[in-house]
Amino acid sequence: MARVHYREIEGDSGGFYALLGALGALILAGLGAAWYMEHNGHYVTGMSNRIVWGTPHVFAVFLIVAASGVLNVASIASVFGRDLYKPLARLSGLLAVTLLAGGLAVLVLDLGRADRMIVAMTHYNFMSIFAWNIFLYTGFFAVVALYLWTLFERRMNGYTKRVGLLAFLWRLVLTTGTGSIFGFLVAREPYNSALLAPLFIVMSFSFGLAIFVLVLMAACRGSGRALGDVVLDRLRNLLGVFVAAVLYFVAVYHLTNLYMARQHEVERFILWDGGIYTALFWAGQVLVGGIVPLALLFAPGASRSRGALSAAAACVIAGGLAQLYVLIIGGQAYPQMMFPDKEVASSFFDGVVASYAPSLPELVLSVGGVALALALTAVALKVLPFLPRNLADGDVDSAAS
């Protein structure tokens, strides 16, 4: 394959600075929402002592999981030696860093008393998966930064494959750790499953690639760079495989629970009479996040359409947020099983499904984290050569053969 030439986004486009201005406004609004919740207490949110992880956690976990998955493009290039993906490796690494930064920003600001994070960083309980995740997240920043250095510095190109392999393994462990946060919570029947770790890994592939496709298409269009069908066709097929894999693992997860008698009530809650959670599962997660993207990606009339690919990627993102909402918030809303095979009722709402509705500050903080990730990406594309000058079919045909 011919040597790839990279260039930063050039010129002083009014549209670019308008985008940065809009993203900056959303970031400031998110900071304001965090201050409002911190100053007044979390009673101004929809959260309670039963729903302690709200909508910001849904967005934070989504961004963290997607950060791991978006690096898959770079892994395919560096670890598995697929030349077609090598021009995309820099952008893949950049998005991995910026998405993780946005997710962690939301996570820290949503927890309350962000200044107390120094305690978590200096006093470790290694029996807790949360303590391990601190090392996994900070290590991910370091490993991806090292990987990007091997891509940018010509003298370091010989180390790209080895560092890429380290990044590939690290992100698998990171996503396993994120899924294990829920899988290890034995007191919550909707969690407490070893299948959540591999499910989160497959989810990361799907969510990360969907974001990568949208950012790549927007960046090339905004900067006037050619983006051929060869690259998009490969990404389209890969996204379809990941979406199908997520549906498969979700089916296995629920069928496994249905096989166990003690999980029947939990599955009934999620799949049948859980109200908003059941609606989000079938309409949001399964239909919008799974069936519709597969139709848009592989239907005869839409398989070559760029608009259909963009719509499919957007549906995957929307479905992913619905999936995490059902898992994280629905898992807390379902009453804990204090005494198996007994009906529990008290003045403390034991045995009652917890109510939750996202508040405006929660939504603003969540969107602010997304805006932060996108703003960091836009600035990096402006000042450093992350994006190839040309991805036209003629330049990548030899790699695709």
Has residue 6 been placed in a domain? no
Q: Which pLDDT value is given to residue 6?
A: 86
Indicate the average pLDDT of the chain: 89
Has residue 9 been placed in a domain? no
Question: Please, which pLDDT band fits residue 4 given cuts at 50, 70 and 90?
Answer: confident
Q: Which pLDDT value is given to residue 340?
A: 67
* pLDDT exceeds cutoff 90 at 302: no
* pLDDT, tens only, 93-110: 999 999 999 999 999 898
Q: Which pLDDT value is given to residue 395?
A: 63
**CATH number of the domain residue 230 falls in:** 1.20.1630.10
Q: Which pLDDT value is given to residue 24?
A: 97
Taking the CA of residue 386 as centre, how many other CA atoms within 13 Å lie in the half-sphere pointing to its CB? 26
* pLDDT, tens only, 239-279: 999 999 999 999 999 999 999 888 888 999 999 998 999 99
Instruction: Identify the residue whose tokens are 């994070």.
Output: 117
Mean pLDDT of 315-343: 88
* pLDDT, tens only, 158-204: 999 999 999 999 999 999 989 988 888 877 888 888 899 999 999 99
CB atoms within 10 A of CB 367: 19
* pLDDT exceeds cutoff 50 at 400: no
Question: Please, which pLDDT band fits residue 5 given cuts at 50, 70 and 90?
Answer: confident
* pLDDT, tens only, 36-49: 998 888 889 999 88
CA distances in angstroms from 117 to 99, 101, 376, listed in the order given: 20, 15, 23
Query: Using CA atoms, how far apart are residues 278 and 269, in angstroms rounded to an integer?
Result: 7
Query: Using CA atoms, how far apart are residues 141 and 147, in angstroms rounded to an integer?
Result: 10
Q: Which of 265, 210, 253, 264 is nearest to 235 (CA)?
A: 210
Query: Using CA atoms, how far apart are residues 215 and 12, in angstroms rounded to an integer?
Result: 20
Has residue 7 been placed in a domain? no
* pLDDT exceeds cutoff 50 at 78: yes
Domains in the chain: how many in total?
A: 1
Least confident of 39-48, 108-117, 296-305: 108-117
The CA-to-CA distance between both ends of the chain, in Å, stands at: 11
Query: Using CA atoms, how far apart are residues 247 and 267, in angstroms rounded to an integer?
Result: 16
Q: Which conformational region is residue 185 in: left (phi greater than 0), alpha (psi within -120 to 50 degrees), or beta?
A: beta
With contact defined as beta carbons under 8 Å apart, do 242 and 76 qualify? no
With contact defined as beta carbons under 8 Å apart, do 71 and 209 qualify? no
Residue 81 structure tokens: 């030696």
* pLDDT exceeds cutoff 60 at 1: no
* pLDDT exceeds cutoff 70 at 2: no
Q: Which pLDDT value is given to residue 347?
A: 66
Has residue 31 been placed in a domain? yes
* pLDDT exceeds cutoff 80 at 392: yes
Has residue 65 been placed in a domain? yes
CB atoms within 10 A of CB 106: 30
Instruction: Identify the residue whose tokens are 């939750």.
Output: 356
* pLDDT exceeds cutoff 60 at 112: yes
Mean pLDDT of 363-367: 97
* pLDDT exceeds cutoff 80 at 328: yes
Q: Which pLDDT value is given to residue 11?
A: 64
SS (H, E, C) the chain: CCCCCECCCCCCCHHHHHHHHHHHHHHHHHHHHHHHHHHHCHHHCCCCCCCCCCHHHHHHHHHHHHHHHHCHHHHHHHCCCCHHHHHHHHHHHHHHHHHHHHHHHHHHHHHCCHHHHHHHHHCCCCCCHHHHHHHHHHHHHHHHHHHHHHHHCHHHHHHHHHHHHHHHHHHHHHHHHHHHHHHCCCCCCCCCCCCHHHHHHHHHHHHHHHHHHHHHHHHHHHHCCCECHHHHHHHHHHHHHHHHHHHHHHHHHHHHHHHCHHHHHHHHHHHCCCCHHHHHHHHHHHHHHHHHHHHHHHCCCCCCCHHHHHHHHHHHHHHHHHHHHHHHHHHHHCCCCCCCCCCCCCCCCCCCCCCCCCCHHHHHHHHHHHHHHHHHHHHHHHHCCCCECCECHHHHHHHHC
Q: Which pLDDT value is given to residue 399?
A: 47
Q: Which pLDDT value is given to residue 359?
A: 95
What residues make up the domain containing 351? 14-400
Query: Using CA atoms, how far apart are residues 210 and 315, in angstroms rounded to an integer?
Result: 9
Query: Using CA atoms, how far apart are residues 110 and 317, in angstroms rounded to an integer?
Result: 21
Q: Which pLDDT value is given to residue 401?
A: 45
Has residue 1 been placed in a domain? no
Query: What are the beta bridge partners of residue 227?
Result: 391
- State the sign of the Cα–Cα–Cα–Cα dihedral 30, 35, 38, 43: negative
Has residue 4 been placed in a domain? no
Query: Using CA atoms, how far apart are residues 262 and 26, in angstroms rounded to an integer?
Result: 45
Has residue 8 been placed in a domain? no
* pLDDT exceeds cutoff 80 at 397: no
Q: At what angle do helices 89-111 and 55-70 cross, to 10 degrees?
A: 160
